[in-house]
């Protein structure tokens, strides 16, 4: 296993923190996959350490890293803002995107089969991106979001063109209760002929949530059917909240 060394805070010996790809490889994927099948979302506790979170959010103002900035209120998306990273993605973002994709491909392919969607996904993220880019979806979609008091993110789906990878990941970079209150990660799921079902995912700093982008199959007594999902963030009561969003498909012009 390759490691990068990081000094432990306070007294004690330096601790070796496994590189991100190794940490992702060592996650309990069978149970995460079962959670995704059952609920359409799965929580990875402490995927990033506090230092990694701080590093990422502290570079929000560095515009050399980003291709564009979106003021959410201007588009009716909510309140707050976000920035899309430019290529080349900074190290941890690229590593997260490349390493989280392979363990999700099997679920994505299985879900498409159950929903009778003919698209199947290649094993490597580079190959999937080549498909996006060949179809004109070549702008990077990973993003950093920033919320302040009273900011929120309306329920939405991150679709950017014909090519869609059906799962995405968000990592909370701030500390609930200390950096902000409110600002909960919310998912809704609409089943045919039923009212929408809400779900709140309780995230702590460094936790990641894997969730369905727009559709997933649910197995019922008469076979499987397709449900429609959206995600968003409830209103912050105070403070500042940053999130890293990892979307696997790229965006069209």
Residues binding Fe ion (CB under 5 A): 158
- In the complex, least distance from residue 48 CB atom to ligand AKG, rounded to whole angstroms: 14
Binding partner of 170, given ligand AKG, Fe ion, none, CB within 5-8 angstroms per partner class: ligand AKG
Among 52, 81, 151, 158, binds ligand AKG (CB under 6 A): 158
- In the complex, least distance from residue 172 CB atom to ligand AKG, rounded to whole angstroms: 6
Which regions of the chain does DSSP assign to beta strands (E)? Answer: 3-6, 15-18, 41-44, 66-71, 78-79, 81-85, 143-147, 152-156, 167-172, 180-182, 185-190, 197-201, 208-212, 215-220, 223-233, 236-239, 241-246
Closest by Cα among 247, 59, 60 to 147: 60
Structure tokens at 64: 């050399």
- Taking CB atoms, the residue at the shortest distance from Fe ion is 158
- 145 is an interface residue for ligand AKG by CB under 6 A: yes
Spatial separation of the C-alpha atoms in residues 36 and 34, rounded to whole Å: 5
- 229 is an interface residue for ligand AKG by CB under 6 A: no
Residue (41 or 243) nearer to ligand AKG, CB: 243
Residue (158 or 250) nearer to Fe ion, CB: 158
Residue (137 or 243) nearer to ligand AKG, CB: 243
Among 41, 185, 236, 250, binds ligand AKG (CB under 6 A): 185
> What phi, psi does 221 have (nearest 5°)?
-70, -25
- 233 is an interface residue for ligand AKG by CB under 6 A: yes
Residue (202 or 220) nearer to ligand AKG, CB: 202
- In the complex, least distance from residue 4 CB atom to Fe ion, rounded to whole angstroms: 29
- Give how far Cα 103 sits from Cα of 92, 95, 99, 170, 196, Å: 18, 14, 8, 16, 29
- In the complex, least distance from residue 1 CB atom to ligand AKG, rounded to whole angstroms: 29
**DSSP-based three-state secondary structure for 163:** coil
Closest by Cα among 81, 169, 165, 78 to 129: 165
Residue (39 or 114) nearer to ligand AKG, CB: 39
- In the complex, least distance from residue 3 CB atom to ligand AKG, rounded to whole angstroms: 29
Q: How many helices (H) and strands (E) does the chain have?
A: 7, 17
CA angle, 250 then 22 then 244, to 5°: 40
- In the complex, least distance from residue 244 CB atom to Fe ion, rounded to whole angstroms: 11
Residues that bind ligand AKG (CB under 6 A): 145, 153, 158, 170, 185, 231, 233, 243, 245
């Amino acid at each position: 296993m390759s490691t990068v060394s990081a000094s432990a805070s306070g007294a004690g010996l330096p601790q070796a923190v496994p590189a991100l790809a190794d940490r992702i490889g060592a996650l309990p994927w069978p149970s995460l996959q079962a959670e995704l099948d059952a609920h359409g979302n799965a929580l990875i506790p402490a995927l990033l350490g506090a230092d990694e979170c701080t590093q990422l959010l502290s570079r929000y103002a560095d515009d050399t890293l980003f291709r564009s900035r979106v003021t959410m209120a201007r588009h009716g998306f909510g309140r707050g803002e976000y920035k899309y990273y430019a290529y080349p993605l900074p190290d941890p973002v690229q590593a997260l995107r490349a390493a989280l994709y392979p363990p999700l491909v099997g679920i994505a392919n299985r879900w498409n089969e159950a929903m009778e969607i003919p698209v199947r996904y290649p094993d490597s993220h580079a190959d999937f991106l080549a498909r996006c880019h060949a179809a004109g979806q070549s702008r990077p979609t990973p993003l950093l979001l920033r919320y302040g008091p009273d900011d929120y993110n309306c329920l939405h789906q991150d679709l950017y063109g014909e090519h869609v990878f059906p799962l995405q990941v968000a990592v909370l970079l701030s500390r609930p209760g200390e950096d902000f209150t409110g600002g909960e990660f919310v998912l809704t799921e609409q089943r045919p002929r039923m009212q929408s079902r809400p779900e709140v995912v309780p995230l702590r700093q460094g936790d990641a949530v894997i969730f369905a982008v727009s559709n997933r199959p649910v197995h019922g007594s008469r076979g499987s059917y397709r449900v429609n999902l959206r995600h968003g963030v409830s209103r912050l009561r105070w403070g500042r909240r940053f999130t890293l969003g990892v979307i696997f498909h790229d965006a069209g012009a």
